[in-house]
Structure 1
Amino acid sequence: MEPAYLPNKEGFYGKFGGAYVPEILYKCVTDLQEAYIPIMESDDFKAEFRALLKDYVGRPSPLYFARRMSEKYGCQIYLKREDLNHTGAHKINNTIGQILMAKKMGKTRIIAETGAGQHGVATATVCALMDMECEIFMGKTDVERQHTNVERMKMLGAKVHPVMTGNMTLSDACSEAIRDWCCHPKDTFYIVGSTMGPHPYPDIVARMQSVISEELKWQLQEKIGRDYPDYLVACVGGGSNAAGTIFHYVDDDRVSIYLAEAGGHGIDTNHTAATMHCGTEGIIHGSRTLVMQTADGQIEEAFTISAGLDYPGIGPMHAQLATQGRTHILAINDDEAIYAGYELTRLEGIIPAIESAHAVAALRKMSFKPDDVVVLTVSGRGDKDVQTYLDNRKMAKEYGEF
């Protein structure tokens, strides 16, 4: 029996996963399926990947004891500081690994999708580092609300394509990237940004991000004398930072896992991105998973204030774990996330990405004992979201002193 965090040889986590791709991409996907594990397990890949994570990304990322947050919530809260990585988020862990894989497979052109822009920036960054052609697909709505990240991508030499279809956000960017891949299957490598898409992408991304929980084990051992927490908390959209946070703890029953998805205006409205609350089984972007869709299978638009969580699906690993009851899924509404972002900023001097603020907001919906050790992953920094915080400050004031 495969561990819960790994797919079977067909790429399924239980009934979720697989590779549902157009015929023109069949060879690309099967070539990747055959190549990824031998590449990742090779000594030269491991050495180069680890060296870049250490000297270029700046890993290990700190595990910080949040004293004032701990006092407020009556437990021991530690923050895994992925926001301190080069480029400002966890995304760089994955793009470093995938571009090394692309080079070993002889690809010369890189494409990627992005929502909040952090994966786009991380992809453009490694393309500049490795001297590779780079094109990024980003919904026009996100281009406007994440303008700073768009300019960063351009500075790094990437071509940014604003996507005008649908509600012009992350899901539409994914669809456009896949269309481009269909037109350039021979020379192009698609660096997928999350644990979504056809097999083997969910597994590739989870393995690349597993460095987060790998570090947590020895960091916790150093700080508290044991290598596991009582609670893990992370935000989840497609699911990459969440997968990395929980990867080495999924089969450890001593650890409770809480994941915060974007509730938008509420799960009882038509303006939400809470896929695991509102979705049903279906296929999106090459994978069978939970999807927000109409009764006849048409994909519904996701809605959230957070560009990085604005996806009407969820990675198949997360769909399986949630269905099994291994993970506890909390829907965090926009106003709750904005408040939590201000709260962390004022209590700890850390401005989180709005995506990460969803994880912080989960604390208000949980109960702790004084000795409980809680690890919360701050997946990215909030520089890109300052204007959104300012524009929506009223939401925070409704909850308290901000």
Structure 2
Amino acid sequence: MTQDLLSTPMPDANGYFGPYGGQLVPPELKQAMDDIDKAYEEIRQREDFQQELAILFADYVGRPSPIFHAKRLSEKLGGAQIHLKREDLNHTGAHKINHCLGEALLAKFMGKKKVIAETGAGQHGVALATACALVGIPCEIHMGQVDIEKEHPNVTKMRILGCKLVPVTRGAATLKEAVDSAFEEYLKNPTDYIYAIGSVVGPHPFPKMVRDFQSIIGNEAREQFLAKYNRLPDHVAACVGGGSNAMGMFTAFLGDESVHLVGVEPAGEGLDKVGRHAATMSVGKPGELHGMACYVLEDEQGNPSAVHSIASGLDYPGVGPQHSFLKDIGRVDYQSATDQECLDAFMTLSRTEGIIPALESAHAVAWAMREAAKLPKDSHILVNLSGRGDKDADYVAQKLGL
């Protein structure tokens, strides 16, 4: 039954993945969204666009990113073999550059005069500022004040790259508020501006578009793993906030029933502590947020709940609509890791393999470490190491007193 559901096109013509997704936007925005969808469907079929993107992926981003067998970590845990898809080696240090290049080229194709976006940990902001510098389009990034103070290295990079950085001080001053602020700016002139959403969230066509650009991760990984080991991994894990790196990895494996797909959410200080985690799939329920229907963490008044994660890129009270659908049909297993597990994984990977992961990615590493010890040595776990931890190093050092 699951495979039957997966065989239908996702999303449908109205942008829905089962009951999730859609275009829950004001009437004046619907036309702008439809225009973006039409332009995207046109440009993705063009050979010149595909060639330009392929050249940039190879010569600018440095793709394909390799798969690394973390032998020392695997030996330390004494169970399954852990492998890392090294998206942290991409130009700008994370998977975000994959869809940012696509969105910047789309903006250029559509003749837009400004690209607007939000960022949490700053990786999307850096990647989009980089892509906009490359194609010559002005870029404006909205970022919560809390995250600006926490992710100073990425803030500096964005400013060097020439983007306009807009601090957001309302509410919790983190990712949700940055999204709200960026949307408000976009609404001022949707004809001349384009909102380059940083994950597989928001109104149609963004969940589809970002997924498509990110699917290169899983397509590469599946081919690489087969070539190296003549088999597929038993488990494929990725962290989930909005869900772009996970959807990029999972898409290629959705039809492989033997592969256990695991999305790892931020449990923060504990799933029992309201407002101190961001585990939307584990604790949330179907609702509406930022122009889409998806799982949402809500407070008693039905508003998006306060959330928390040690990883700025994961503290979001919603999730991509395709993830919501995949949860309902049971194709992806959504689990969680706490702040402490994340910190432990961050330090363990750094000191065992010499790889400093982003705090976001460390959630997926934490799950792999937790599960590997329970599994036989001939089992294989493939983790999407979605970003590097340069941006987090000072914060972690301060937190741990290093």
Q: TM-score with structure 1 length normalisation?
A: 0.95
Aligned-pair CA distance for 1:274: 0.6
Q: Which amino acid aligns with 2:396?
A: Y
Task: Say whether 1:390 aligns with 2:389.
Answer: no
Task: Say whether 1:379 aligns with 2:383.
Answer: no
Q: How does 1:123-142 map to 2 (within 5 A)?
A: 123-142=128-147
Secondary structure at 2:11 match in 1? coil
**Partner in structure 1 of residue 224 of structure 2:** 219
Q: Which amino acid aligns with 1:69?
A: L
1:120–1:322: structure 2 CA closer, same or farther, 3 Å change rule? same
Task: Say whether 1:43 aligns with 2:47.
Answer: yes
Secondary structure at 1:391 match in 2? helix
**Partner in structure 2 of residue 62 of structure 1:** 66
**Partner in structure 1 of residue 159 of structure 2:** 154
- 1:230 pairs with one of 224, 227, 234: 234
**In the aligned structure 2, how far is the partner of 1:153 from the partner of 1:311?**
22
Secondary structure at 1:29 match in 2? helix
Task: Say whether 1:321 aligns with 2:326.
Answer: yes
Aligned-pair CA distance for 1:2: 5.8
Tell me if structure 2 keeps the 8 A contact 1:139–1:168.
Answer: yes
- 1:195 pairs with one of 200, 203, 211: 200
Secondary structure at 2:165 match in 1? strand
Q: How does 1:287-366 map to 2 (within 5 A)?
A: 287-366=292-371
Greater displacement, 145-154 / 31-40:
31-40
**Partner in structure 1 of residue 180 of structure 2:** 175
- 1:283 pairs with one of 276, 280, 288: 288
Aligned-pair CA distance for 1:148: 1.2
Aligned-pair CA distance for 1:8: 1.0
- 1:259 pairs with one of 254, 260, 263: 263
1:2–1:28: structure 2 CA closer, same or farther, 3 Å change rule? farther
Aligned-pair CA distance for 1:93: 0.3
- 2:20 pairs with one of 12, 16, 31: 16
Tell me if structure 2 keeps the 8 A contact 1:293–1:300.
Answer: yes
Secondary structure at 1:96 match in 2? helix
Name structure 1 gaps, 5 residues minimum: 395-401
Deviation digits for residues 173-206 of structure 1 (CA, Å, limit 9, x no counterpart): 1111110110011111111110000011001011
Aligned-pair CA distance for 1:348: 0.5
Tell me if structure 2 keeps the 8 A contact 1:338–1:392.
Answer: no
Secondary structure at 1:61 match in 2? coil
Greater displacement, 88-97 / 38-47:
38-47
Q: Identity of paired residues, percent?
A: 45
Q: TM-score with structure 2 length normalisation?
A: 0.95
Deviation digits for residues 297-319 of structure 1 (CA, Å, limit 9, x no counterpart): 21111111110001000001111
**In the aligned structure 2, how far is the partner of 1:323 from the partner of 1:165?**
34
1:327–1:96: structure 2 CA closer, same or farther, 3 Å change rule? same
**In the aligned structure 2, how far is the partner of 1:201 from the partner of 1:208?**
10
**In the aligned structure 1, how far is the partner of 2:152 from the partner of 2:265?**
24
Secondary structure at 1:168 match in 2? coil
Secondary structure at 2:94 match in 1? coil
Aligned-pair CA distance for 1:218: 1.9
Deviation digits for residues 371-396 of structure 1 (CA, Å, limit 9, x no counterpart): 112110111000100122113327xx
**In the aligned structure 1, how far is the partner of 2:183 from the partner of 2:56?**
28
Aligned-pair CA distance for 1:369: 1.8
Secondary structure at 2:266 match in 1? strand
Q: Which amino acid aligns with 1:378?
A: L
Q: Which amino acid aligns with 2:126?
A: V
Task: Say whether 1:34 aligns with 2:41.
Answer: no
**In the aligned structure 2, how far is the partner of 1:66 from the partner of 1:49?**
31
Secondary structure at 2:357 match in 1? coil
Tell me if structure 1 keeps the 8 A contact 2:215–2:248.
Answer: yes
Q: Which amino acid aligns with 1:11?
A: G
Aligned-pair CA distance for 1:345: 0.5
Q: Which amino acid aligns with 1:294?
A: D
Q: Which amino acid aligns with 1:185?
A: P
Tell me if structure 2 keeps the 8 A contact 1:4–1:251.
Answer: no
**Partner in structure 1 of residue 170 of structure 2:** 165
Secondary structure at 2:336 match in 1? strand
**In the aligned structure 1, how far is the partner of 2:319 from the partner of 2:381?**
24
Name structure 2 gaps, 5 residues minimum: none
**In the aligned structure 2, how far is the partner of 1:295 from the partner of 1:104?**
44
**In the aligned structure 1, how far is the partner of 2:9 from the partner of 2:133?**
32
**In the aligned structure 2, how far is the partner of 1:5 from the partner of 1:215?**
22
- 1:53 pairs with one of 50, 53, 57: 57
Task: Say whether 1:250 aligns with 2:221.
Answer: no
Secondary structure at 1:337 match in 2? helix
Secondary structure at 1:392 match in 2? helix
Tell me if structure 1 keeps the 8 A contact 2:144–2:177.
Answer: yes
Aligned-pair CA distance for 1:251: 2.0
Aligned-pair CA distance for 1:52: 0.3
**In the aligned structure 2, how far is the partner of 1:203 from the partner of 1:317?**
9
Deviation digits for residues 139-184 of structure 1 (CA, Å, limit 9, x no counterpart): 0110110111111001000010001111000011111111011001
Aligned-pair CA distance for 1:331: 1.5
Q: Which amino acid aligns with 1:312?
A: P
Tell me if structure 1 keeps the 8 A contact 2:239–2:364.
Answer: yes
Tell me if structure 2 keeps the 8 A contact 1:5–1:250.
Answer: no
Equivalent pairs counted in the alignment come to 394
**In the aligned structure 2, how far is the partner of 1:303 from the partner of 1:4?**
35
**In the aligned structure 2, how far is the partner of 1:41 from the partner of 1:232?**
30
**Partner in structure 2 of residue 239 of structure 1:** 243
**Partner in structure 2 of residue 398 of structure 1:** none
